[in-house]
Structure formats: structure tokens, C-alpha cells
Amino acid sequence: MKIVDAHYHLGDCRVFSLNATEDEIVATMDRNGVQAALVQPFPGASDPRAVHDRIAALGQKHPGRIFGIISLNPHTGREAWNREVDRCVQDLGFVGIKLHTIGHACNPLSEDGGMIFEAARRHKIPVMVHTGMGIPLAAPSLVGPRAEQYPDVPIVLAHMGFVITAGEAVLTAKRYPNLYLETSWSMVGDIAWAIATVGADHVMFGSDTTDNVAVELAKYRSLDLDDEKRAQVLGGTAAQVFKLPL
């Protein structure tokens, strides 16, 4: 079984006062048996372009273990934004793009939110949307109309509604086959409910911070899942949605 952490960050964050180094990320992966991780800059990165480069460099150093997700404030100039997205996919091989509803103050239904879904369609990569903490912008149901508008784009609801809107996240995901749930910070009972409601092939493990990896894995260990479903939620779903060559 290959464990894939679908939600990891590298670098500094001036929004949430966080920092994660390359060494911390790889050491935490090794300590917890995580084979591969999807790594993105924090929404408050001082220099997100430089963090994109650091993620690519880390991926070069650890082939098959580190995959990049683009995260860049969409309100800072469309041409430059699209140029950086194109660079990350074409030159750095990134596999997804983040819409940070609260860290970038971006409503999925806004014009700039639409620009992110258009870029994902153009590059045939999934969008990960921060949900839960930070409502109303982070309300999971706001992603529904985009899932309907972009049925060809896989969309991951990060944090599965962050406990407070978990019900909304699960029920919105149930309506659209291209919506997936990433479960960092979720309550263990809600994770069981999500798997039963949308299927193991629509639920993926993620941690968000290095000190949360063991905690999130313990939640999955406590669930009564057969080996096939456990392998699916711990790595299979993320590998399939982001087309990871594992």
C-alpha cells in the first residue's frame, strides 16, 4: 500500500504564521511511511514563485515522492498569474492548482475564481479548494456550480468542510462525480460517513501540516476499513485524481 499525503505545504506563511522546511517535510514523510506528497506554497507565502521552484527542486531530489500544486494569489494581475501557472505546469511538471478561498480571499464563483478553473481545464489538472474555516467564502456549496460548469475538471474539497461545514462538503460532493474530499482536520466519524456516502474512491488522506501527519493517519487506522478501501483512501484516490506516476 502506498500512502499519499494529498495536502502538504512548504515555506513560510504570513497569513497563518507557519513555516515548513524541506528537511521537516521529508523527515515527517519517512517517519510516517508516507510514500508521496502533494506539496504547495502556503497562501501567505512571501514569494510563492520561489516556493514553486523549491518544490520542484525537492521533487528532483526525491523522484516519485514530491509533486507540486500551484498556489498563487489570483488577484494580483491576470497575465502574470497565468504566466506563472503555465510555467509551473509546463516547466516544473506541477499536477494541480489551489484555490485558497480564505488565504487569497477568493470566492469560487467570482471572476478570479473562474480564472483558476479555466486554467485547470486548459492544463487538464485538478483544482483543490480550501473549504470550511473562512466561511462564507469557504462554504463547500459554492463549489457546486463550478463542478457543474467544469465536469471535466476534478475538484478536491480540502479539509472536507473543516468540521463545521463537513455535512455541506459531503452532501455537495455526493451531487457531483467530479468532486472529491480531502480529510485533513476532519472528525473521524465524519470521515467514516464520507467514505460511506461518496465512496472510498472519492475520499483522500491529507495532513496540511507536518505535525498533523501522524494524527490524520491515526484517524484512518481507527476506522473499520477492509484492506482495499484503506489503500484507496490512504493513497489510491490521490494517485488517481492527480495522475501520479507511482
Chosen residue from 5, 12, 190, 208 binding Zn ion by CB under 5 A: 208
> Should residue 182 be labelled a site residue for Zn ion when binding is judged by CB under 5 A?
no
Would you tell me how many other CB atoms lie within 10 Å of the CB of residue 41? 28
| Cβ-based burial of 18 (10 A; exposed 0-12, middle 13-18, buried ≥19) | middle
> Should residue 168 be labelled a site residue for Zn ion when binding is judged by CB under 5 A?
no
> Should residue 190 be labelled a site residue for Zn ion when binding is judged by CB under 5 A?
no
- Look at residues 146, 197, 196 and name the one whose alpha carbon lies nearest to residue 171: 197
When the beta carbons of 106 and 225 are compared against Zn ion, the nearer one is 106
Q: Which region, judged by CB under 5 A, interacts with Zn ion, from 110-118, 138-146, 207-215, 237-245?
A: 207-215
Looking up cell 487538464, which residue turns up? 124
Residue number of the CB closest to Zn ion reads 208
Q: Which region, judged by CB under 5 A, interacts with Zn ion, from 119-127, 202-210, 213-221, 223-231?
A: 202-210
Which residues lie below 8 Å from residue 209, measured CB to CB, with a gap of 6+?
A: 9, 18, 20
Give the nearest distance from C-beta 42 to Zn ion in angstroms.
7
> Should residue 5 be labelled a site residue for Zn ion when binding is judged by CB under 5 A?
no
Would you tell me how many other CB atoms lie within 10 Å of the CB of residue 156? 31
Residues of span 55-114 touching Zn ion by CB under 5 A: none
When the beta carbons of 190 and 208 are compared against Zn ion, the nearer one is 208
206, 5 contact by CB (below 8 A): yes
Q: Across-strand partners of 68? A: 39
What is residue 139's three-state secondary structure? coil
When the beta carbons of 185 and 229 are compared against Zn ion, the nearer one is 185
List residues binding Zn ion (CB under 5 A). Answer: 208
